[in-house]
C-alpha cells in the first residue's frame, strides 16, 4: 500500500500542492510567531544580563501603589541613601542611576523615534557601567553636554562636537554632543545621557536617584543584600542582582507571552480555515477514485489498508506543507523583527520546529480522516459498476448537531458577554467556535435556497452558462458549503472587527460632542508629560482666555489601585461639561469628586470619608464633595491639585485645557507658535480629537484585518482547489457540453459564475455572523464607553464585492483548463 500511496501522490501533484498551500500558510503563521518571540526573549535576556552583569544588590523605593505596569517608575530615592550604602562592608562601587524621558530632535526638526507608541526615548545619567559602551568622544562632565547612542545620532545626522536639541519635560535643551555609545540591539531605543546633576535636575528632582546599584567585594548577593537592608530608611528595599534580572526578564516574558498568544490565535484561525480546505480536497479525491479504491478492495486490500493509504497521502502533504511553512515562518519572523526596529540573527529553538510539524501533520491527518474512512467502506463489488459513487448520508443528523452547536455557542457567548464570570474570554471564545462549527454544519442546508437566490442574476444575465453554474453549485451542497464555510470564517471575524471599530469611532465622536467643552487641548506626543511652567505660557498666548493643567495619578482605596485626575478643577469641569448628580465641584485640600458608578459601587455619597493611600506611603482621609455623571474624559475620581502635588515627587501635566475668546484659525496658530519649540506637543480642537481617535481606531482595525487576511487567502486557495477538482471530476460532462455546442467562452463563464456564487455565499454567511458578533460585543461593552452601535454598511458592501472578485480570480485557472480540454478525449473519459 505504500507504493499505492506514492503513486497517488505522484498522480495528483497539482491538487495536493494546492492543498499543501493551506498547510504552508497556517504553519508559517505559527512558526513565524514562535521564532519571533523566541528571538525577542533571547535579545531581552542578553540585554538584562548586560544591564545587571556587575550588580550584586539593587536599592530602590518600595512600590506602595502598584500601577499594574512592571516597568512603571517607583518613587525616587534621596541622595542620602547613597551615602549610607557606601558605609556597608562588602559594597563595591555603589552608583545612583537617574532614568526619565528625553527625546532627541534631529536636524530636520523632527523627533527621532515614534512618540508614545514607538521605542523608548530614554534619558539617563552616564555611569560608565551600564548597557552603554563609549565608542567615540568622552563622557559628559558638565551641564550642556550629552552622550547619544550611535544609532540615534546617525539617524538625526549628528557627529561628536555638534550642537544638539534634546526635549525633556521642562522643554527643549540646547546641548553639545560630546560622545556616542554602543547600546547593542535595543530595537530603536533612543539613549540620551547627561552628567548626574544635570540628569537629576532635568529628568527627576535635584538630589534624587531612581535606584542605587552596587557590586560586591566578596560577600554573596544574599548576604550583602541583608547587610545593606539594615541601613536603609523606611520605604526602601534591597534586592539581589539575580532577583532584579529575573524581574526584568519576567516582565518582558509576560508581555511577549501575551503577544505570542495574541498572534497564535490568528494563526489557529488560519489553520482552522485550512482544515476545511483539506477536508474538502480529500473528500473529492476519494469520490473521484471510488472505482479505483473498489478495485483495490477486490484484489484483496483490507479496509484498514485503504484507510492507511489515504492517511499516508495526508501525512505526506502535512510533512511537505509543514517543512515549507517552517521556512516561510522564518521569513515572517524576519519581517516582524524589522518592523520593530530590531536586527540581527534570528533565534531558532526546537519549539517552533516541533509545533510546526505537529500542527501541520495533525491538522492534515485529522481533516483527511473521515474521507479516508469513507474510502475504506467502498465495497469490492463497486469495481464492476460504471456509475459507482459514494453514498451520501442523510442531513438530519447534520441539521440536529448543527442546530445544537449553534444554540450552545450562542448561549456560551451570552454567558461570557452578559453573565458574571471571572474570565469572560473563555466562554466567548468557546461559544464563537461552537457557532462557527454549527453554522458550517448547517451550511449545506442553507446553501440550497441561498444558491438559488444568489445564482438567479447569473441565470438571467448569462442564460445557459448561468443556469448551469447555479445547478453545479447546487449539485453537491456539502462541497459547496465546505468551500464557502472557509471563506465565511475569515470574513465573519473581519466583519466583527469592523463593526466593533465603527462602533468605537461613533462612540468616541459622540462622547466628544457631549463632553468636550473646551476650545483646545494640548497634549504631549511623547511619554514624558509636560511641565507646569508651560501652562503659564499658554495662558499668556493671544486669544486665550484661560488654561488649566490636568494631571493623573495612582492611589489605593480599600486595598485596590485606582486612577484619579487632578489639576485646575474649574477648568477641568467646564472643559469636560461635567454634570453633577449631587454636591458640587468645589474642592478643598481634602476634597474628592467621584462619578455615579463609583459612588454606587462603593456606597459613597456627599460627605462620605474615604482613606486614600498615596505612592509616597502616606494616607489621607478625603471627603466626597460631589458626585458627577459618568465622564470618559475625567475618569472615576477627581482629587485636588494640592493633594496630587503633595504626594508626587515628579509631577507631570498630561493635558492642558484651553479656553479662548474665539476658537478660530488665528488662535490655534498663536498656540502653535507658542509651542513651536516643542515638536513633542500637539494642539487639538474638537475636530482634531475626533480625527485622532479615528486614526487610532482605524490603525487598530487595519492591524487586526491584516492578521485575518491570511485566513481569507487560504479560503481563496480552497475555492481554486474545489473548482480545479470539480473540473476534473466533470471532464466527461464538459466534453459532452462542448460536443452539443457550448463554446469555450460560455464554458469559462459557467465556471466563473459557479465560483462567484460559492464565494458570495460564503461572504453573505460570514458578514451576517460577523455583524451579529460585533453587535453582541458592542452591547456587552456599553458600560466601558462603547455606547453607540455602528454598522459600516459601505465597508461590508466592499467586502461582498471583494468576495465576488476572489471568486472570479479563483476561477481563472480552472476555467482556462476546462476550456483547453480536447472534446473527444473528454467524452471518452471514464
Q: Which of 109-123, 303-317, 775-789 has the lowest mean pLDDT?
A: 109-123
Which of left, alpha, beta for 635 (phi over 0: left; psi -120 to 50: alpha)?
left
Instruction: Give the pLDDT confidence of 705-717 residue by residue, as tens digits.
Output: 888 888 888 888 8
For residue 530, the cross-strand partners are 653
Q: Which residue has the higher pLDDT, 727 or 544?
A: 544
- What mean pLDDT is predicted for residues 646-661? 90
How far is residue 761 CA from its own chain's centroid?
Answer: 29
Instruction: Give the pLDDT confidence of 793-807 residue by residue, as tens digits.
Output: 999 999 999 999 988
For residues 770 and 477, what is the distance between their CA atoms, to the nearest angstrom? 23
Instruction: Give the pLDDT confidence of 258-301 residue by residue, as tens digits.
Output: 888 888 888 888 888 888 878 877 777 776 666 667 777 777 77
Q: Which residue has the higher pLDDT, 627 or 20?
A: 627
Contact in structure between 545 and 606 (CB atoms under 8 Å): no
Q: What is the pLDDT of residue 828?
A: 66
Does the pLDDT value for residue 627 go beyond 50? yes
What secondary structure does DSSP assign to 346-357, as a single string? Answer: PP--HHHHHHHH
Helices of type H across 92-240: 150-156, 196-203, 221-229
- The fraction of the chain above a pLDDT of 90, given in percent, is 34
- What mean pLDDT is predicted for residues 618-631? 93
Q: Which of 115-124, 128-137, 450-459 has the lowest mean pLDDT?
A: 115-124
Q: Which residue has the higher pLDDT, 509 or 416?
A: 509
Instruction: Give the pLDDT confidence of 361-371 residue by residue, as tens digits.
Output: 998 888 888 87
DSSP strands (E only) in 359-409: none
Does the pLDDT value for residue 442 go beyond 80? yes
Contact in structure between 384 and 295 (CB atoms under 8 Å): no
How far is residue 548 CA from its own chain's centroid?
Answer: 35
- What mean pLDDT is predicted for residues 47-51? 70
Count of helices and strands (H, E) across the chain: 25, 24
Instruction: Give the pLDDT confidence of 371-391 residue by residue, as tens digits.
Output: 777 777 767 665 555 454 555
Does the pLDDT value for residue 781 go beyond 90? no
User: In 3-state terms, what secondary structure has residue 517?
Assistant: coil
Q: What is the pLDDT of residue 70?
A: 47
Does the pLDDT value for residue 143 go beyond 70? yes
Whole-angstrom Cα Rg for the chain:
33
Does the pLDDT value for residue 15 go beyond 70? no
Q: What is the pLDDT of residue 11?
A: 58
Q: What is the pLDDT of residue 763?
A: 92
Q: How wide is the angle at C-alpha 45 spanned by C-alphas 39 and 47, nearest 5°?
A: 105
For residue 466, the cross-strand partners are none
Rounded alpha-carbon distances, angstroms, from residue 778 to 496, 498, 503, 701, 774:
10, 11, 7, 15, 6
Burial label, 109 (beta-carbon count in 10 A; 0-12, 13-18, 19+) = exposed
Does the pLDDT value for residue 690 go beyond 60? yes
Domain map of the chain by residue range? Answer: 54-240, 446-515+687-830, 520-684
Which residues, 6 or more positions from 444, have their beta carbon under 8 angstroms from its beta carbon?
A: 395, 398, 477, 478, 480, 481
How far is residue 420 CA from its own chain's centroid?
Answer: 26
Does the pLDDT value for residue 584 go beyond 80? yes
Instruction: Give the pLDDT confidence of 200-219 residue by residue, as tens digits.
Output: 999 988 999 999 999 999 89
For residues 171 and 524, what is the distance between their CA atoms, to the nearest angstrom? 11
- The fraction of the chain above a pLDDT of 70, given in percent, is 91
Which residues, 6 or more positions from 232, have their beta carbon under 8 angstroms from its beta carbon?
A: 59, 81, 84, 238
Contact in structure between 534 and 677 (CB atoms under 8 Å): no
Does the pLDDT value for residue 130 go beyond 80? no
Instruction: Give the pLDDT confidence of 307-362 residue by residue, as tens digits.
Output: 877 888 888 888 988 999 999 989 888 888 777 666 677 888 898 999 999 988 99
- What mean pLDDT is predicted for residues 653-677? 91
Rounded alpha-carbon distances, angstroms, from residue 173 to 88, 156, 653:
38, 16, 19
For residues 349 and 343, what is the distance between their CA atoms, to the nearest angstrom? 18
Confidence tier at 96 by pLDDT (50, 70, 90) = very high
Q: What is the pLDDT of residue 634?
A: 92
Does the pLDDT value for residue 116 go beyond 60? no
Does the pLDDT value for residue 535 go beyond 50? yes
User: Mean pLDDT in the chain?
Assistant: 85
CA dihedral (598, 582, 655, 76) in degrees, to 10, reads -50
Amino acid at each position: 500500500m505504500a507504493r499505492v500511496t506514492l503513486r497517488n501522490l505522484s498522480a495528483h501533484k497539482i491538487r495536493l500542492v494546492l492543498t499543501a498551500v493551506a498547510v504552508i500558510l497556517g504553519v508559517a503563521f505559527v512558526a513565524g510567531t514562535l521564532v519571533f518571540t523566541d528571538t525577542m526573549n533571547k535579545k531581552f535576556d542578553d540585554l538584562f544580563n548586560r544591564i545587571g552583569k556587575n550588580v550584586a544588590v539593587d536599592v530602590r523605593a518600595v512600590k506602595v501603589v502598584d500601577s499594574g505596569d512592571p516597568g512603571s517608575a517607583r518613587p525616587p530615592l534621596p541622595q542620602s541613601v547613597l551615602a549610607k550604602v557606601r558605609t556597608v562592608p562588602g559594597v563595591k562601587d555603589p552608583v545612583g542611576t537617574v532614568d526619565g524621558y528625553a527625546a532627541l530632535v534631529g536636524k530636520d526638526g523632527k523627533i527621532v523615534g515614534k512618540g508614545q507608541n514607538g521605542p523608548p526615548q530614554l534619558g539617563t545619567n552616564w555611569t560608565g557601567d551600564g548597557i552603554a559602551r563609549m565608542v567615540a568622544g568622552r563622557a559628559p562632565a558638565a551641564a550642556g553636554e550629552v552622550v547619544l547612542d550611535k544609532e540615534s545620532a546617525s539617524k538625526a545626522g549628528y557627529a561628536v562636537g555638534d550642537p544638539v536639541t534634546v526635549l525633556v519635560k521642562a522643554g527643549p535643551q540646547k546641548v553639545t554632543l560630546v560622545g556616542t555609545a554602543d547600546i547593542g540591539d535595543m530595537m530603536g531605543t533612543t539613549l540620551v545621557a547627561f552628567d548626574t546633576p544635570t540628569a537629576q535636575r532635568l529628568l527627576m528632582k535635584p538630589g534624587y536617584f531612581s535606584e542605587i546599584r552596587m557590586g560586591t567585594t566578596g560577600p554573596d548577593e544574599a548576604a550583602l543584600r541583608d547587610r545593606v537592608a539594615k541601613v536603609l530608611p523606611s520605604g526602601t528595599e534591597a534586592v539581589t542582582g539575580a532577583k532584579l534580572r529575573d524581574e526584568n526578564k519576567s516582565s518582558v516574558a509576560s508581555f511577549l507571552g501575551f503577544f505570542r498568544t495574541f498572534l497564535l490565535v490568528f494563526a489557529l484561525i488560519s489553520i482552522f480555515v485550512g482544515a476545511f480546505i483539506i477536508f474538502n480536497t480529500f473528500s473529492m479525491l476519494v469520490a473521484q477514485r471510488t472505482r479505483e479504491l473498489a478495485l483495490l478492495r477486490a484484489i484483496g486490500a483490507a479496509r484498514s489498508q485503504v484507510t492507511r493509504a489515504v492517511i499516508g497521502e495526508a501525512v505526506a502533504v502535512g510533512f511537505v506543507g509543514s517543512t515549507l511553512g517552517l521556512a516561510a515562518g522564518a521569513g515572517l519572523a524576519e519581517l516582524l523583527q524589522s518592523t520593530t526596529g530590531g536586527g540581527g540573527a534570528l533565534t531558532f529553538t526546537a519549539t517552533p520546529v516541533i509545533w510546526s510539524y505537529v500542527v501541520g501533520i495533525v491538522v492534515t491527518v485529522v481533516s483527511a480522516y473521515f474521507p479516508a474512512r469513507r474510502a475504506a467502506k467502498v465495497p469490492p463489488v463497486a469495481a464492476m459498476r460504471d456509475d459507482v459513487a459514494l453514498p451520501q448520508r442523510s442531513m438530519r443528523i447534520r441539521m440536529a448537531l448543527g442546530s445544537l452547536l449553534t444554540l450552545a455557542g450562542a448561549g456560551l457567548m451570552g454567558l461570557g458577554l452578559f453573565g458574571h464570570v471571572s474570565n469572560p474570554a473563555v466562554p466567548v471564545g468557546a461559544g464563537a467556535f461552537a457557532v462557527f462549527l454549527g453554522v458550517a454544519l448547517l451550511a449545506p442546508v442553507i446553501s440550497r435556497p441561498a444558491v438559488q437566490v444568489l445564482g438567479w442574476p447569473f441565470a438571467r444575465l448569462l442564460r445557459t452558462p448561468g443556469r448551469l453554474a447555479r445547478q453545479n453549485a447546487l449539485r453537491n451542497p456539502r462541497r459547496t458549503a465546505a468551500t464557502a464555510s472557509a471563506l465565511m470564517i475569515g470574513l465573519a471575524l473581519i466583519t466583527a472587527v469592523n463593526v466593533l471599530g465603527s462602533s468605537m469611532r461613533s462612540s468616541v465622536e459622540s462622547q466628544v460632542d457631549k463632553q468636550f467643552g473646551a476650545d483646545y487641548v494640548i497634549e504631549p506626543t511623547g511619554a514624558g508629560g509636560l511641565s507646569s511652567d508651560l501652562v503659564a505660557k499658554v495662558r499668556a498666548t493671544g486669544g486665550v482666555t484661560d488654561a488649566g493643567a490636568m494631571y493623573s495619578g495612582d492611589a489605593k482605596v480599600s486595598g485596590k489601585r485606582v486612577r484619579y485626575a487632578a489639576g485646575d478643577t474649574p477648568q477641568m469641569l467646564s472643559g469636560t461639561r461635567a454634570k453633577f448628580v449631587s454636591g458640587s465641584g468645589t474642592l478643598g485640600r481634602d476634597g474628592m469628586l467621584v462619578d455615579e458608578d463609583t459612588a454606587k459601587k462603593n456606597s459613597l455619597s456627599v460627605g462620605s470619608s474615604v482613606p486614600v493611600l498615596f505612592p509616597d506611603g502616606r494616607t489621607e482621609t478625603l471627603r466626597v464633595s460631589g458626585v458627577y455623571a459618568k465622564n470618559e474624559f475625567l475618569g472615576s475620581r477627581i482629587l485636588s491639585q494640592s493633594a496630587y502635588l503633595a504626594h508626587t515627587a515628579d509631577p507631570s501635566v498630561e493635558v492642558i485645557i484651553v479656553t479662548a475668546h474665539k476658537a478660530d484659525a488665528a488662535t490655534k496658530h498663536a498656540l502653535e507658535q507658542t509651542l513651536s519649540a516643542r515638536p513633542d506637543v500637539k494642539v487639538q480642537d474638537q475636530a482634531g480629537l475626533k480625527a485622532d481617535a479615528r486614526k487610532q481606531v482605524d490603525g487598530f482595525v487595519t492591524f487586526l484585518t491584516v492578521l485575518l487576511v491570511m485566513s481569507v487567502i487560504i479560503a481563496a486557495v480552497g475555492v481554486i482547489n474545489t473548482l480545479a477538482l470539480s473540473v476534473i471530476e466533470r471532464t466527461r460532462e464538459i466534453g459532452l457540453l462542448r460536443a452539443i455546442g457550448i463554446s469555450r467562452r460560455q464554458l469559462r463563464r459557467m465556471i466563473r459564475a459557479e465560483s462567484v456564487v460559492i464565494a458570495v455565499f460564503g461572504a453573505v454567511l460570514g458578514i451576517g455572523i460577523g455583524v451579529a458578533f460585533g453587535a453582541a460585543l458592542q452591547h456587552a461593552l456599553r458600560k466601558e464607553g462603547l455606547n453607540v452601535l455602528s454598522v459600516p454598511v459601505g465597508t461590508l458592501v466592499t467586502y461582498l464585492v471583494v468576495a465576488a472578485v476572489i471568486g472570479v480570480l479563483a476561477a481563472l485557472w480552472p476555467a482556462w483548463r476546462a476550456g483547453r480540454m480536447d472534446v473527444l478525449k473528454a467524452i471518452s473519459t471514464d
